[in-house]
Structure 1
């Protein structure tokens, strides 16, 4: 469905480096959003690329992700009505570590693993000063850009491997991607203008939640459409392992165990959607708790568990379902998006 021309389409979402991000599909997904849908929930927001597209379309956006670093992207780019980072903010962020005895986590955990000592110390110092910024939106924006800078430093853009510094010492890989050896501060400064330019106010009171969707759904009222993009079991569903470092950084945990070669935190947060043994029951519960929302769009992949027929059977209890399909011609990485597989959008309308 075509939308009325809107000035917000001139803004540009900072391109993500995130497994399974729907950034490349946002135009395809947009055509199935009824123009009459004013308030829309993005229930598993991840990189926030779909939530941002909804904001551009002038919708009131309720975005949610159970991981804190994803929620901060929502605070920075979706809920934020117009606050950007200026020179005074940078002077604060780049000042000396305000509490070196407390803010040393990156140096203790990840120096020599993902970062050289200088970058780890810079990340700690930066984190120590974030709370000194004047409001939660500037704080969220600062952390969002720093997290994006960190993913630029590692091949594949995630932290589920131990080869970051090995790759950063490989001249062939460096030639392909000089970000591997660039200081975090330089990467932050390069990304800053792009993120500042992405901030806008669409005139709506958008909200970014940081909850398990099963807990959030019963409390939401006045939602016209829900977009669901749950983790695809069998296809990189364990986001906490891939992005553990970013979650550790924004939460700045001192009471977790850090296990295995990648120093992932333990215990992990309960998702309910990333294991085959739990996904089916929780998807059923999710659809039951979303029954008060008239229209659903459900993204999925035809190589995931449960299979599409099972998904459709679950949804048919509550909604009429139409299957839309987009075939991958090349592998994109993440969520089973390999050549020959299909991105599925289940368009679910009230019976």
Structure 2
């Protein structure tokens, strides 16, 4: 029997992400290693939230976290949110006139003719001005999530680390392959809306989405049965802030940042602690030490990352028995860490046997 058939919550479908490094395609493989008896699960680096959604589908009380705000809003919309969806009255609010054009003009000023034509940029600003008018934090999170997903549909490769978006959107060959490049943000939003509304469900547990530094959050969490760790793969396309800076800018709607380089990335970036070699190993060691009270860890990794596999095993063996599972990439999926010939790694870490 397919494991996914054992849980009634698998009738709900996670909206397919467009996110470098997303574990969406690995969900069934990862699910095999999640202890059935575990009641409370932590996804420490939620990202696209596809694994947190898997944990929720499995009936676990799910705690998800990401230090980027736009990722934590996906968690609020689809993990923490038990039942609220965007209705017609909400859309009337979202699509009404800009509430404050003098203050809600960031997208137009920064990204017009860089990632979007002016009409789409001004639409994004207008929606952003109206999101706080929605009467629920979960509806607000859903609106932010769908807008962010709509914006990734408008650019090739679904990220914002290159400046060719508008050139690609005028290339007939690329448009033929991906007509989203010339569709309006509003039409993309309306296409995505039913998928996100349909993904909202109540698994009967009190789930939670955090927007914290995991090294600060872990010591405050108790009674976690299984933790899933998917840290940035240092040396293997770990700079998600550069890839998705526009989405973080949209959600945070900064007025006090500098916007640098050709893509108008915000500066200074948030401090990750896991994406630079001089910090990654030390912070992984700290994280494992802080998590030693959690009975089971499932750690996603890649065999092209730093520290290497043997070093990771040595660090974790200080606290747990460790088993290494490997899933080779047959085809390249985009990103240095998922090219053909590399492998996705799972470290299955359990309490030491006496």
- TM-score normalised by the shorter chain: which range applies? over 0.9
1:294 is displaced (CA, Å) by: 1.0
Aligned with 1:339: secondary structure? coil
Question: What is the aligned partner in structure 1 of residue 315 from structure 2?
Answer: 314
Question: Are 2:61 and 2:206, in contact at CA under 8 Å, matched by a contact in 1?
Answer: yes
Structure-2 separation of matches of 1:290 and 1:58? 22
Q: Secondary structure at the match of 1:300?
A: strand
Query: Offset at 1:62?
Result: 0.3
What's the Cα RMSD here? 1.0
Q: What's the CA shift for 1:334?
A: 2.9
Q: Deviations over 1:68-113 (max 9, x none)?
A: 0000000000000100000000000000000001100001100111
Q: CA deviation at 1:3?
A: 7.7
CA distance in 1 between partners of 2:21 and 2:5 (Å): 29
Q: Which residue of 1 aligns with 2:6?
A: 5
SS of the aligned residue for 1:44 comes to coil
Partner SS for 1:123: helix
TM-score normalised over the length of structure 2: 0.98
Alpha-carbon shift at residue 335 of structure 1 (Å)? 5.7
User: Whole-Å Cα distance in 2 between the matches of residues 123 and 287 of structure 1?
Assistant: 40
List aligned pairs for 1:1-351, cutoff 5 A. Answer: 5-334=6-335, 336-351=337-352
The alpha carbon displacement at 1:291 in A equals 1.0
Contact kept? 1:19, 1:335, Cα under 8 Å: no
1:277-301: CA deviation from partner (whole Å, max 9, x where unpaired):
1101000000011111111000001
Question: Per the alignment, in what secondary structure is the counterpart of residue 338 of structure 2?
Answer: coil
Whether the aligned pair in 1 keeps the contact of 2:44 and 2:228 (CA below 8 Å) is yes
Q: How many residues align?
A: 351
CA–CA separation in structure 2 for the residues paired with 1:4 and 1:296: 24
CA distance in 1, matches of 2:240, 2:141: 20
Could you tell me which runs of 5 or more consecutive residues in structure 2 were left unpaired when the two chains were aligned: none
Contact 1:321 1:349 (8 Å CA) reproduced: yes
Determine helix, strand or coil for the equivalent of 2:346: strand
Q: Cα 1:308–1:167, aligned 2, differ >3 Å: closer, same or farther? A: same
Q: 2: CA distance between counterparts of 1:79 and 1:15?
A: 19
Q: Is the 8 A contact 2:4 2:28 kept in 1?
A: no
Cα deviation, residue 7, structure 1: 1.5
